[in-house]
Amino acid sequence: MAVKLDGAALASNIKAQIREETAALARPPMLAVVLAGEDPASQIYVRGKERDCAECGIRTRTHRLPAEVSQADLLALVDSLNRDEDVDGVLVQLPLPEGLDARPILHALAPEKDVDCFHPLNAGLLALGEPRFLPCTPAGVLELLDAYEIPIRGRHCVVIGRSRLVGRPLAQLLTARDGTVTLCHSKTRDLPNLTRQADILISAVGQPGLVTAEMVKPGAAVIDVAMNRGADGKLTGDADFPAVEPVAGFLTPVPGGVGPMTRACLLQNVLRAARLRRGILC
Ligand code: GUN
């Protein structure tokens, strides 16, 4: 039976540590959040981030904008947050409402305040192996593996999903840690043949039931990044949890696995941004 990777408990420890570290700063860090439109999931995510920050002694200022906000007004807001001395981190909640183009907005973020690691400069530094910020979900996955002493060096890591937010940066981070990485996607042929070779199997697709027991090598660590909401309102990952649990060596629950770690890593980035801006870190 797989050991359950308890992201909720680990995130709680990380948050306690962040609380101590923010208390030691002369001025608490400040995260500015930009939330445009009424997307219900985004509203919930942003409230969660505000709550997490409050718990950790991080101030937040959320700019709620109507869905009809213009691209120019959104850019002007980002520009003013970039120049605001009191703001350490800026997070533009995605997806943006229809009609707005996220790319120019994310490119306009000041790289030193880009706590999501979305700006091309930060993505480039990460690709070069010199990250300034770590993207939150990939960083959360690595912290989870490290906490349970699951080695990466020399192991075959199979990542399913090549998104800019998760799959691609995760493949880069695992490579930097000396993992042997196979990055799979929707055009990959004979996926089960590859996943069965994985010591560490990470799925970030958003397709319930994608990872079956037959696709998992006995004893492998299975990390399920997906959060799919079923017709019954329940959250599930990509893995068929009851079927995979007896085969895997380690398995993340959904919810309570990677999700809380992503949130904790955002807080780490806000603290890091505050320290970098204040010359406490270089
Ligand atoms: N929407 C869904 N996930 C994220 C995230 O990690 N950051 C931002 N800014 N928006 C999101």
Distance CA 187, CA 210 (A): 14
Please name each of the domains of the chain with its CATH number: 27-131 (3.40.50.10860), 136-258 (3.40.50.720)
Quick check: 87 and 113 in contact, CB under 8 A?
A: yes
3-state secondary structure of 67: coil
Catalytic residue among 15, 93, 113, 199: 93
- CA of 94 from ligand 1 middle (Å) equals 5
Q: Would you call 146 a catalytic residue per the annotation?
A: no
What global pTM score does this model have?
0.96
Per residue of the chain (282 residues), give pLDDT as tens: 999 999 999 999 999 999 999 999 999 999 999 999 999 999 999 999 999 999 999 999 999 999 999 999 999 999 999 999 999 999 999 999 999 999 999 999 999 999 999 999 999 999 999 999 999 999 999 999 999 999 999 999 999 999 999 999 999 999 999 999 999 999 999 999 999 999 999 999 999 999 999 999 999 999 999 999 999 999 999 999 999 999 999 999 999 999 999 999 999 999 999 999 999 876
The edge-to-edge listing of strands for the beta sheet with 250-251 is 3-4, 250-251, 221-224, 200-203, 156-160, 180-184
Q: Would you call 93 a catalytic residue per the annotation?
A: yes
Residue located nearest, by CA, to atom 3 of ligand 1: 94
For the Cβ of 166 lying below 6 angstroms from any atom of ligand 1, the answer is no
